[in-house]
Chains A and B, each alone.
Chain A
Amino acid sequence: SQQGEEDPQALSIQEGENATMNCSYKTSINNLQWYRQNSGRGLVHLILIRSNEREKHSGRLRVTLDTSKKSSSLLITASRAADTASYFCATDDSGNKLVFGAGTILRVKS
């Protein structure tokens, strides 16, 4: 069963623009993670935010977490064509396994 639900399902932007993806989840979590998947490839871990953190940065990525609303957002600034991929949020509620959302398909046009 899927825990996280991403919004939007698909997003198309121009190179240089910012991309924002949202994730909502249902139960209490230890941490929330974001992954990227290029077409035909495996998932790549981008960033992890713990339940007691509100914001985290990694390069052009910014993740926020609002545990009161059970939601998270991933912001990619100054997007590039190479950012074209599917992005998944995943929640860890027990410390031992991840449950993934359905993903957001991001297309960055050059």
Chain B
Amino acid sequence: DAGVIQSPRHEVTEMGQEVTLRCKPISGHDYLFWYRQTMMRGLELLIYFNNNVPIDDSGMPEDRFSAKMPNASFSTLKIQPSEPRDSAVYFCASRLSGGGYGYTFGSGTRLTVV
């Protein structure tokens, strides 16, 4: 398995533009997580899905953020409109159900909003 695949690796966009980040989890993993990492706030959980259903989106900072998982092999995180304070590295991770499993993280998308 190629692991968790995220795209793009880097994204530079202007304030006000829509940004879409993509994630392909490991096949067979039924949990998917979106995290954001910044120097100031560290790693923050934004939202997670179980069997494609959003379970907890309490970490999504504002209504400008939305996430979907239309099927077991694909998820998107969308920011519309983007703002400079959204600049961060966004990670997707997946894991198997049941306790005792670690997460597999993707390589992340470095987002810069100018």
> Interface of A with B (CB < 8 Å)?
2, 30-31, 33, 35, 41-45, 48, 50, 88, 92, 95-103
A92 to chain B, nearest CB (A): 8
Q: Contacts A50-B100, A88-B43, A103-B42 known; A96 to B31 CB distance under 8 Å?
A: yes
- From 30 to 83 in chain B, residues with beta carbon under 8 angstroms from any chain A beta carbon are 31, 33, 35, 42-43, 45, 48, 50, 55-56
19 of the cross-chain contacts (CB-CB < 8 Å) are: A2-B42, A33-B103, A41-B107, A41-B108, A42-B105, A43-B43, A43-B93, A43-B103, A44-B105, A48-B102, A50-B100, A88-B43, A95-B99, A96-B31, A97-B48, A98-B45, A99-B45, A100-B43, A102-B42
Decide if A31 touches B99 in the complex (CB within 8 Å). Answer: yes
When the two chains form the complex, which single residue of B56, B99, B100, B107 contacts A42, counting CB atoms closer than 8 Å?
B107
Size of the B side of the interface (Cβ < 8 Å), in residues, is: 23
Q: Mostly helix, strand, loop or mixed at chain B's interface?
A: strand
In the complex, chain B residues whose CB is within 8 Å of the CB of A50 = 99-100
In the complex, chain B residues whose CB is within 8 Å of the CB of A33 = 102-103
In the complex, chain B residues whose CB is within 8 Å of the CB of A92 = 99
- From 1 to 50 in chain B, residues with beta carbon under 8 angstroms from any chain A beta carbon are 4, 31, 33, 35, 42-43, 45, 48, 50
In the complex, chain A residues whose CB is within 8 Å of the CB of B107 = 41-42
In the complex, chain B residues whose CB is within 8 Å of the CB of A42 = 4, 91, 105-108
